[in-house]
Amino acid sequence: MTESKRIILNTLATYGRSVYALVCGLFAGRWVLMALGQTDYGLMGVVGGLTAFIAFFNSWLSYSISRFYAYSVGMAKTRPAEGLEECRRWFSIAVLIHTAVPCALIVVGYPLGMWAVREWLTIPPDRVEACEWVFRFVCVSCFVGMVNVPYTAMYTAKQYIAELTIYSFVTTTLNVAFLWFMVSHPGDWLTRYALWTCLLSVVPQVIICLRARAIFPECRFRLCYCWSWRHFRQLGDFAGWQLYGALAHLLRGQGIAVLVNKFFGPQVNAAMSVANSVNGHANTLSSAMTGALLPAITTACGAGDRVLMRKMAFRACKLGAVLSLLFLLPLSLELEHVIKLWLREPPAYTVGLCLAMMVGLLADTISIGQMSAVLANGKIRDFQLVAGSVMFMTFFLAWLLVANGWGVYAIGFSYAFIAILHAGARAFFARLLVGMGLRHWVFRVVFPVGVAAAAAGAMAVLPHLFMGPSIWRIGVTTLVAEAIFLPLVWFVVLDAEERQFVLARVRSRLPERFRQKRQ
């Protein structure tokens, strides 16, 4: 299979999975809230967030090793034997690191997490024991996921993303079935739900590990490859600076969750959890395209094709923002009514926090290509120093505003404002380090996407003038928004080359007789 066809297959598979997960998530989020109640739902979010120090290490090391995997795959296009052995070296080093680091993290982090549950967080006395078990189950999930990173990262680097989609479909379906059972059988579900999510995470990871060993010749552990100082130094330089940025994202996510818990209590944590859920579902749509492009960007860099790398990076920015807006644009216009229909009795402040996080998501997706190109290049010290420092400001700005009486919405303002500054930092360093022009990004990506979204939003708000809040108005608003937005994307956002690319891919999927008729 050619690389372009593999990207298309990965995109279609991931997008299909994302839409399916989005539809299921809309029901699942409501069912979890109904089954657990607002207090336990908020506690699940904040206690589960205590393991973020493990989860973020997992994400940080996973991306770091994936970058070197993909770079080696690109090298193998011009030097096959050398590229294969280089990838095996990185795999062996990854296995060593991803076995030692999670063990050390659990030894240090587990007692700290248990202390936080018992002594520090605001938890009703009768829910402390249940929260302890929630923390234990989440620790197991994080540990197994981290040990399995070298195998999962190989799937991404080799662009076998479509196969990972199968596991996602199965686990999503099983989760929806379990949540329906929870809703139909009321009871104390907090501990049992945590156990279920643990099993749903661990079992697919074991299958992925076994499959990777069977299908990838690169997944062969060699002890002699683990002691290469040159490789450790390269990984340490890259991962060390990547750690700074990862810590900033951790503080923005889980730091703010703890801040909300200490200032406002578990019920506002429930509102934050709902906002994070909506944001996560919207992000799955954009990551469907960008997830297929990002390893290809690093592979192009490894092959020395900087022109192709920049072209795919700009395309990732454009398509990431467009796919996010397909969901966010109509939702933002009907958010209050949708939240009420979805949750019936949503926690206070949910709508405002959702809107703020939507702004942050758009800023992130419209600059995702710049970040990917910079990370593919490998020289990230100055980028992470500046961009990470900007991201750190989210927590401190939120704390400063809340401490001075600005209220819950100061959290959302801090999140959105700093996300916009962070996108600007990404664009600046992409221009400086890999030659991605700011003018091109502003006038070929940001401006046309903004024009299409503004025009579609202005037309989609018209049903509000003659229709009251109802399911019918939601449908009409969505239809109008998409009917205006999609043609504008085709004629205003996409350039001629991208339109030809899409048409060629569509034609290649048509039966032979239809292609002959068109000719």
Last residue in a domain, options 381, 403, 436:
436
- Residue 463 sits in the same domain as residue 327: no
Contact between 287 and 321 (Cβ < 8 Å) = no
- Residue 461 sits in the same domain as residue 335: no
DSSP of 80-126, one letter per residue? HHHHHHHHHHHHHHHHHHHHHHHHHHHHHHHHHHHHIIIIIS---GG
Last residue in a domain, options 390, 421, 436:
436
- On whether residue 7 sits in a domain, the answer given is yes
Whole-structure pTM value = 0.69
- CA–CA distance, 284 with 373 (Å, rounded to integer): 21
Question: What SS3 class is residue 304?
Answer: coil
- Residue 202 sits in the same domain as residue 266: yes
- pLDDT value of position 362: 92
- On whether residue 213 sits in a domain, the answer given is yes
Domain that residue 468 falls in: 437-511
- CA–CA distance, 226 with 112 (Å, rounded to integer): 31
Contact between 296 and 3 (Cβ < 8 Å) = yes
- On whether residue 88 sits in a domain, the answer given is yes
- On whether residue 517 sits in a domain, the answer given is no
- On whether residue 518 sits in a domain, the answer given is no
- Residue 255 sits in the same domain as residue 404: yes
In the chain, how many domains are there?
2
Q: Given the structure tokens 């916009």, which residue do they identify?
A: 420
Along the 519 residues of the chain, how does pLDDT read in single tens digits? 555 555 555 555 555 555 666 566 666 666 777 777 777 777 777 776 666 666 666 667 776 777 777 777 677 666 777 767 777 888 888 888 888 877 887 787 788 878 877 877 777 788 788 888 888 888 888 888 888 888 887 877 676 766 777 787 788 888 888 888 888 888 788 888 888 888 888 888 888 888 888 888 877 887 777 777 777 777 777 877 877 887 788 788 778 888 888 888 777 777 887 788 777 767 766 665 566 667 778 778 777 788 888 988 998 888 888 888 888 888 899 888 888 887 777 888 888 888 998 999 999 999 998 988 888 887 888 898 899 899 999 999 999 999 888 888 899 999 999 999 999 999 999 999 999 999 999 999 999 999 999 999 999 999 988 888 888 898 899 899 989 999 999 988 988 877 776 666 556 555 554 455 555
- pLDDT value of position 268: 79
468: Cα separation from own chain's centroid: 35
Between the CA of residue 79 and those of 34, 90, 217, 391, what are the distances in Å?
Answer: 56, 16, 16, 39
- CA–CA distance, 209 with 272 (Å, rounded to integer): 34
- Residue 501 sits in the same domain as residue 445: yes
Amino acid 19 reads V
For 503, counting Cβ atoms within 10 Å of its Cβ (0-12 exposed, 13-18 middle, 19+ buried), the class is exposed
- Residue 488 sits in the same domain as residue 391: no
